[in-house]
Structure 1
Amino acid sequence: MKPEKILTIGIDIDGTVTSPSSIVPLMNESFGKDLRYEDCYEYNLANVYKITDEEFDKWLDLHGERLYDEAPVHGNADHILRTWHPQFKLVYISAREARHRDVTINWFSRYNIPFHNIDLVGSHDKLSAAKKWGVDLFLEDRLENALQLSEALQIPVFLFDTPYNQSELPPLVHRVTSWDEVQEKVQLLSLERTSV
């Protein structure tokens, strides 16, 4: 009997492990707005806040460190990820830039969130990183990433439900509303793999 392959889970960080609403108070403070998370109907917050992409990039350049340091954990992600660590390979693949590695590692340490690898790719194109790490499924909040990863790699993607990712989904992309729901789906997937 051949040894079973450990399930490798690719995991986005912002809006997936961190609360998807965490950027809103900081942007409100900077741009003098009073928007709610529910008002963020598209992923590109420059459009939501009526600023240019350049202004948003400059804002993130200035405030990224604080944003990543202060972001709260999304639900009970920390607890679930701790239970997964002994049985699955956890690879975090994020659009954050490599220069934010220290603040990222410190945040994971503060909340006792385990990892096998953290890959800060510096762009929203996570496909080559997902291929490099051989991920079997992906957890994501950005619709475009979910669609690209599921189609190119033919793997399931669990898409966390947010105001900015509403759309019809292909069969491999599954909308989820909580980390508890993801936990159930991952356990089912793991059981299916071991029974093959």
Structure 2
Amino acid sequence: MSLNLCIDIDGTITEAYYWLNAANRYFDASVKPYQVKEYDIHHVLNVSREAYQEFYRLHWKELHGEARPRKYADLVLWKLFMQHDISYVTARETVTRDITVQWLRNHGFPEMDLHMLGSHYKVDKAKELDCDVFVEDRYENAVELALSGFQVLLMDCSYNRKPLIPGITRVTSWLDVHEEIETINLRKQKLAPYIA
């Protein structure tokens, strides 16, 4: 039995703080990863949203191109890819598609459907893809998805350590992700005869 999996990119398959060194240089700041307590980066840097957007506009290519993948993300995604239907679902704008596809190739990730929403709202896309499990790092996204009935694996980051609601499971690595998805799949297989 296979599952429909939705996988976020930034902070989920990439390291969560890959933007930090460049942002510190640009804004003459010295923020450390453990000090990143919220998702909105301009708040973390104590600059205006407009100032951060200008930084991103100037540097998005190198930020996304030089991001490092999380440990074991590629290996686990290949294992899952052999058994399940997987889609990348990201808030990135479509203008970043080429660099995103190239980054995924360069780091040995399986080539799967890539949905670039240009928005953090992912519920409608999860419904469209009949998602069984969504792997995500943004707390607000996880809550929205869980409240809409989706099972969410929340990749642990300093900015998402808030109370979990039913439907959200915190994971600390891609090995955890694999284990949780295997457990969910086994549970689904056991239930299948009763809901068929």
TM-score range, shorter chain: over 0.9
- Give 1:69-88 correspondences, 5 Å limit: 69-88=65-84
Amino acid at match of 1:7: L
- Give 1:26-37 correspondences, 5 Å limit: 26-37=22-33
60-69 or 96-105, which deviates more: 60-69
Which stretches of structure 1, 4 residues or longer, exceed 2 Å deviation after superposition?
none
Report SS of the residue matched to 1:73. coil
Given the two structures, how large is their TM-score scaled by the length of structure 2? 0.94
Report SS of the residue matched to 1:113. coil
Report SS of the residue matched to 2:82. coil
Percent of aligned pairs with the same amino acid:
32
Q: Structure 2: how far apart are the matches of 1:98 and 1:124?
A: 13
Which residue of structure 2 lines up, in the alignment, with residue 122 of structure 1?
118
TM-superposed deviation, 1:116: 2.5
Matched, 1:183 2:181: no
Q: Structure 2: how far apart are the matches of 1:124 and 1:61?
A: 18
Q: Structure 2: how far apart are the matches of 1:83 and 1:166?
A: 28
Paired residues of 1:127 and 1:149 also in contact (CA < 8 A): yes
Paired residues of 1:69 and 1:104 also in contact (CA < 8 A): yes
Which residue of structure 2 lines up, in the alignment, with residue 89 of structure 1?
85
Report SS of the residue matched to 2:135. strand
Which residue of structure 1 lines up, in the alignment, with residue 139 of structure 2?
143
Structure 1 residues 116 and 147 mapped into 2: Cα distance closer, same or farther (>3 Å)?
same
Aligned counterpart in structure 1 of residue 35 of structure 2, from 39, 61, 77: 39
Q: Where does the alignment leave 5 or more consecutive residues of structure 1 unmatched? A: none
What CA RMSD, in Å, does the superposition of the two structures yield over aligned residues? 1.0
Given the two structures, how large is their TM-score scaled by the length of structure 1? 0.94
TM-superposed deviation, 1:29: 1.5
Q: Structure 2: how far apart are the matches of 1:67 and 1:144?
A: 23
Q: How many correspondences in the alignment?
A: 191
57-66 or 183-192, which deviates more: 57-66
Aligned counterpart in structure 1 of residue 162 of structure 2, from 156, 167, 173: 167
Q: Structure 2: how far apart are the matches of 1:82 and 1:111?
A: 12
1:8-45 Cα distance to aligned partner (Å, 9 max, x none): 11111000000002111111121111111111111111
